[in-house]
Structure 1
Amino acid sequence: MPKLPNTLSARLQQNSEFVAAYAVVLQAECNHEQTEQGGSSISNERLLYCRILGCLLEYAPGDRSRGLVASEISGCGRDQEKLLEFGKWYFDHFEQMLQAAADFRNSDRTISDYCPADANLQPPATQEELTEDPVPGSHELAHRMVMRRDHRRCQLTGGPDIHTRRAREYSEGDPMPVYVEGHHILHQITAPEDGDDYSKTTWALIERLGFRSVLDELRGTGVHRLENMMAVFSVANRFFNSLNIWLSPVDNEPNAYYVEHNIEHYERLDMDLQQKVVFSTRKPGEWPLPSSKYLEIHAACARVAHFSGAGDYINDRIMRIECGMQP
């Protein structure tokens, strides 16, 4: 598992609160490396708790979120068990998210087969009723709208939907036609009183990072707003939900993002990710683009899971359990 860097990045080094909190985490990591040399799962996880907190200070979605994390770290004082409990909270929530992604990956369902936000919906009476509200009232309607906005192409691979004329006109050198659907960026978020374990986990993470306004926007069928939707190849979306793919904004280029990933043995997959995606819309009033805020939250979770080592550790344990081995 990778150790934390000795310092935060240059810009963050200018903030004394972040630097002080990071020093606390580094000291905790050092203490546990010295005292827990056995390499047991418990000692490994305790190191991961420290590294998750360090990575949150580096990769949290914005300085307000970093400030909240730094404040909680400082609030632990010299109580390292309390600090570890704080890191364990995030570890447990990442584990629940990745377990839910694995369960979905191993099922035959598509994401539109079951959406908690749609569980109690009544079918609209008319097509006109479908279009009265600027926020789509169901996943199915959001899917149809985002497919039009995104030109029926996967935003991660560039491949046209396999059912379109572009796919039939495929020629060598074009992105491979793929099965494209409308998918959520922040996936299956529902209020704790209504959702399943995955939904509650995502809700709790976003709330603790200080994005209550995002939860208000995505409550109920608000999760289907087009700002939270992308047209994506179903296989690529499973990696996106598993925090193996994320988008990073391109400096000085609006609505442009680098497609980043940490997929092991990527070259063996029948999937070719784009290096960069530029979102566009013909009707910005009706078909708004993906929210940079939602993408930033998703990318922060992916980076923390990756750079802390927690993602690989959790996925390895999930795989061992699936294979009938000891975790």
Structure 2
Amino acid sequence: MVSGFYDDSVLSIKELETLVSSGSGSCQPVAPTRVVYISDPCTNQEIHPDSYWDVLRTFGYEDLAATLRGKLVNRLQNVLTLDLNFAAELEQFNVWFVATAVENQYKLEAAGPYRLRQYPEYVTFTTPDQGQYPIPDPTYLRIHAACSNIAYLSGAANAIDDLCNT
């Protein structure tokens, strides 16, 4: 969703395979990708879950727990398909999305600009069918950006990463 890279789906979608094989247009290379949570279950369900939701309620997100608890955390609005490098950076709170004045457009920001060298400055999320394939929820992206900024500015990103990897 950020790099424009295609994954192995090019092998099962004939039109996409033809496009990638021809190298025409702005076609990006094929690379491994994976699905990443915006609001990771590790953060919102396993690490002091009541404290996490209490903090979010304090900032006005009263009903957020209802949309992210249990199996609901797997909603399309809470996941991104990303190349492996960007996925790791997002999960470690090293990169984040900042909303712009343009609907569904985000500026990529990072803990160190070198992390974004191979990525575009802005990303616009689109979908052919918002009902069936919704784009990422702006609230989840805003919360992830706030957490990333706090982690980056306080140096807490390493501690969060240690907790999630134990």
RMSD of aligned residue pairs (Cα, Å): 2.9
Identify the residue that residue 13 of structure 2 maps to in structure 1: none
SS at match of 2:82: strand
Distance 1:274 1:217, change over 3 A: same
For 1:261, the equivalent position in structure 2 comes to 110
Amino acid across the alignment from 2:30: P
Which of 147, 167, 180 is the aligned partner of 2:33?
180
Cα distance in structure 1, aligned partners of 2:120 and 2:113: 17
Aligned with residue 234 of structure 1, among 62, 65, 84: 84
Q: 1:208 aligns with which of 55, 58, 63?
A: 55
Equivalent positions of 1:32-111 (< 5 A) are none
Compared CA separation, residues 177 and 206, structure 1 to 2 (3 A): farther
**1:305 is matched by which residue type in structure 2?**
A
8 Å CA contact 1:189–1:219 kept in 2: the answer is no
Is 2:99 aligned against 1:249? Answer: yes
C-alpha separation between the residues in 1 aligned to 2:150 and 2:56? 13
SS in 2 for 1:209: helix
C-alpha contact (below 8 Å) 1:203/1:215 kept by paired residues: no
Name which one, 1 or 2, has greater alpha-carbon Rg.
Answer: 1
Distance 2:48 2:31 in 1: 31
Specify the alignment match of 1:305 in structure 2.
151
Counterpart of 1:286 in 2: which secondary structure? Answer: coil
Kindly tell me: are residues 266 and 292 of structure 1, through their superposed partners in 2, closer, same or farther at Cα, counting changes over 3 Å?
A: closer
Asked if the contact 2:32/2:83 (under 8 Å) is kept, the reply is: yes
CA deviation string 1:182-210 (max 9, x = no partner): 3211112587xxx5xxx334663343131
Kept after mapping to 2: 8 A contact 1:160/1:175: yes
If the length of structure 1 is used for normalisation, what is the TM-score? 0.41
Instruction: Structure 2: state its 5+ residue gaps.
Output: 11-16
1:159 aligned partner: 5
8 Å CA contact retained: 1:207, 1:215: no
Contact 1:249/1:255 (8 A) holds in 2: yes
8 Å Cα contact 2:20/2:27 also seen in 1: no
In structure 1, C-alpha distance between the alignment counterparts of 2:137 and 2:50, rounded to whole Å: 17
Distance in 2 between the 1:228 and 1:240 partners?
13
Q: 1:278 aligns with which of 104, 118, 124?
A: 124
Structure-2 change in CA distance of 1:200 and 1:309 (3 Å): closer
- What displacement does 1:233 show? 1.1
RCO higher in 1 or 2 (8 Å CA, sep ≥ 6)? 2
More strand by proportion, 1 or 2?
Answer: 2
1:208–1:163: structure 2 CA closer, same or farther, 3 Å change rule? same
User: 2 CA distance for matches of 1:204 and 1:184?
Assistant: 20
Amino acid at match of 1:200: I
Instruction: Kindly provide the amino acid, as one letter, of the partner of residue 256 in structure 1.
Output: Q
Is this contact kept in 2: 1:249–1:257, CA < 8 A?
A: yes
